[in-house]
Amino acid sequence: MANQFDMPTTYDPHAVEDKWYKYWEENKYFRSVVDPEKEPFCIVMPPPNVTGQLHMGHALDNTLQDILTRWRRMQGYNALWLPGTDHAGIATQAKVEEQLGKEGTNKYELGREKFLERVWEWKEQYGGRITHQLRRLGSSCDWDRERFTMDEGCSEAVQEVFVRLYERGLIYRDYYITNWCPHCQTTISDIEVEHRDKPGQLYYIKYPVQGSPGEFIAVATTRPETMLGDTAVAVHPEDERYMHLIGKTVVLPLVERQIPVIADEYVEPEFGTGAVKITPAHDPNDFEVGRRHDLPSVQVIDREARMTKDAGARYQGQDRWECRKRLVKDLQAKGLLVKIEDLSHAVGHCYRCSSVIEPMLSKQWFVRMKPLAEPAIEVAKDGRLQFIPERFTKVYLNWMENIRDWCISRQLWWGHRIPVYYCLDCDEVIVSKTRPEKCRCGSTNLEQDPDVLDTWFSSALWPFSTLGWPHKTVDLAYYYPTSVLVTGRDIIFFWVARMIFSGLEHMDDVPFREVFIHGLVLDALGRKMSKSLGNGVDPIEVIESHGADSLRFMLVTGNTPGNDLRFHFERLDGSRNFANKIWNASRFALMNLQDYAPEKSPGREQYTLADRWIVSRYQRAVRECTEFLEKYELGEAARVLYEFTWNELCDWYIELVKPRLYGKTGAADREVAQHVLAVVLRGALELLHPFMPFITEEIWQHLPHRGTTVMRAPWPQYRNEQVDGPAEERMEIVMEVIRGIRQIRSEMNVPPGKQAEALIVTAVPALRDVLAGNLAYVEGLANCQAKVLTKLGEKPEQAATAVARDIQIFVPLRGLIDVDKELARLNKDRQALEKDLARVEGKLNNPSFLNKAPAEVVDKERGKQAELSSKLGAINERLAIFGDR
């Protein structure tokens, strides 16, 4: 055990955190190797973007994973937390293109090969930033196993999966409506589109009926610029208003092209005019209608979100918004615009750059989802895979049961290039993991598909590609399926669902047994943190100011599975105070354990009531904390540890045991006190370690212990035989009396150094026996001389009273305080309160105020009234103690 002077008087997180993390990492304490004799526990880290830096969402997610990993490791599991990063196709390419722009060049001038060299250089320079920051947080990952979605092994897995799915007929290429981002210059999947309510307009446009002068169909649209690509007008087949027009043609305004009127049940007669313009090239629903009716597709908006030549010479080259303005003016000029209505509607935006998405017809690669979704639905229904909280099972199933085919091609250069080759001589399509030497026709004139795969395609393989698949590795056989996935509710569709169907398809088993869903970290007002709002909080800045342990404990306390968490700096300060409390209490304990001999283990018959009580309370903390962790109630587990450590161990037991530690009750009793304090303090630190790894390691190393690190210490085992209900009940009686006397001293402003007299009166023999046998605790912690009485002959003059169970407590105040001075203070406070109360009641008795003031203002005044009345009542009670003076 180290000398107490090795432990500074104040806790400095900076001096502690770097030291211990290096110690853990250098000694390979995070390392996990296959051991058939031990049960594995495995978590794969949701790979953060290689472009990224730690934000509060990462901090919460990785804190939860680290708590579970450290806990299971201490329980004896062979715990592996496998880290890695994602290549983040769109975001990373954007970063490098921005850099090239500053240099006055672009990717096209460099060419694909040179551009990719620049991206890899950027990744090597900046890619380690977030993993360094995760170390600052205390993440106990096996860094020797760190993976990257574009490393050799993961890339091989991607190629293998693409070829397998293609050969099974589950990957195909076709023209389809996709979500195109004009800024990022690529398609994005449906779930990468953020739909935001925006103010807009609904334009009602006349489509003249061919051959019927003066007759027209009015069509309502929010995107009039797309009408230039209309190829039909659709009505419901049972809509009597338009049945006579079905099969006829209308003239497309401004374009003067004749288009048919068709009948389709897709149309909702109640919406708008009941007639819908059909633009197959620029709307996913219209595309399906077009397929059913064999309509042509006319693309009038290009990849730059500018109008094409098919939009007509008047509009060609214009930006889509510019075209809208001109087109509306032209319609008005020709008398073809019926009206414009304001409305609020959902508009799709790119989740990366926030540009408005343009639905666009293009030839893309897709995964056929129905066959893959079916087994993924079954495992959630039959319990082979469980969501925590359970309510997210419905969210997952709802999406999977209504899933659409997944567009997996992206018009980028950075990423896994699609393993498809086209023969330029015979148009043969060759799907191969390696570049073919020649086509079946004998031609060597082959060209690889220029697109890359969606980033989520590779991360969907993460639980098994990181363990060596497609090779049958020892790691894969031992660690797969992994134990639990910890992730936010916002990527259930992006990532979780895709890992589930990928694991079932390629490993014939779920990728994890449980999915632990947490919420988002919001600001103090309940808003999502974002750059645009400027309300983000940098975790690294918090670690610099408060320490990693304080941040971790704040993030987990009050956190319930699946629910969002509000970030309050006051709670962060509270966590730092907790760390300081642990430090100061531990330092005091160590100062009194210098001559402690751990080998001398006293029998329980030597324990005092306080000893039996704290040991019993500690055992309950062990049981409750472990049970909550098993249920993923990490916030509740943290609450149990906070209350036990701060309230029971630090505030009560250490104070109760001080006279014994100081030798006032004899050497033998001191040894018992030292033993109990050392054992319980060490156990509390071991329970706290997964939550606050740094401070617990620092203190634990100063205590008598076995082993080299607290993170490898055995998790405390619950021992029912050490739970002592009667001792807890008796100690609670003593504590209630102490609290009663302390409350009197506080309310009556008795100086802390003055010893009081306390008369404790109870007619209950059992209560009297408990108090009589433990008066030393009462006198020591309440700074009083106490007597236990069966009944009180005459009530002492000027005595304050308190009640605890069937116990009355009297504390005579004469000689303890300056009565005249206290009376003057109380009367002054009473007058101020009466004045404030009269003012508030005057408002509440005023009909004009009650009728005109907002309800929340009236409620606030009523709250003030109740508070002032309560305070006034308390002061009158105190004044009554002094009689009529």
- Residues annotated within the binding site are 531
Burial category of 37 from C-beta neighbours within 10 Å (exposed 0-12, middle 13-18, buried 19 and up): exposed
DSSP 8-class letter at 422: E
Contacts of 847 (CB under 8 A, 6+ apart): none
Measure the CA–CA gap between 33 and 371, rounded to whole angstroms: 36
Amino acid letter, residue 275: A
Q: Could you tell me where the beta strands, DSSP code E, fall in 354-490?
A: 358-367, 386-388, 406-407, 409-410, 420-423, 429-431, 446-448, 452-453, 482-488
272: phi > 0 → left, psi -120 to 50 → alpha, else beta; which? Answer: left
Nearest to 807 by CA among 823, 779, 836, 787: 787
Sign of the Cα pseudo-torsion (396, 399, 405, 406, in order): negative
Measure the CA–CA gap between 66 and 71, rounded to whole angstroms: 8
- Give whole-number Cα distances, 452 to 412, 515, 796, in Å: 6, 29, 89
The three-state secondary structure class of 805 is: coil
Token pair, residue 183, equals 């800024």
Label residues 110-125 b or e (16+ Cβ within 10 Å = b). Answer: beeeebbebbeebbee
- Give whole-number Cα distances, 234 to 275, 290, 336, 393, 401, in Å: 6, 10, 19, 38, 29
Measure the CA–CA gap between 516 and 502, rounded to whole angstroms: 19
470 prior amide bond cis, ω within 30: yes
- Give whole-number Cα distances, 695 to 124, 470, 563, 702, 752, in Å: 33, 42, 28, 11, 32
Amino acid letter, residue 172: Y
Phi, psi of 508 (to 5 degrees): 60, 30
Asked whether 613 and 724 are in contact (CB, 8 A), the reply is: yes
Place of tokens 């050490």: 722
Measure the CA–CA gap between 491 and 460, rounded to whole angstroms: 12
**Feature table: binding site for ATP:** 531
Q: Could you tell me where the beta strands, DSSP code E, fall in 368-476?
A: 386-388, 406-407, 409-410, 420-423, 429-431, 446-448, 452-453
Count of other CB atoms within 10 angstroms of residue 695: 27
Measure the CA–CA gap between 167 and 170, rounded to whole angstroms: 7
Pairing state of beta strands 756-761 and 784-789? parallel
Measure the CA–CA gap between 320 and 226, rounded to whole angstroms: 9
The three-state secondary structure class of 363 is: strand
Count of other CB atoms within 10 angstroms of residue 204: 18
Residue 167 CA, chain-centre distance (Å), reads 39
Phi, psi of 275 (to 5 degrees): -120, 135
Asked whether 539 and 133 are in contact (CB, 8 A), the reply is: yes
Q: What angle do CA 686, 691, 693 make, to 5 degrees?
A: 65
Token pair, residue 639, equals 């609450």
Measure the CA–CA gap between 649 and 645, rounded to whole angstroms: 5
Count CA atoms within 13 Å of residue 278 on its CB side. 30
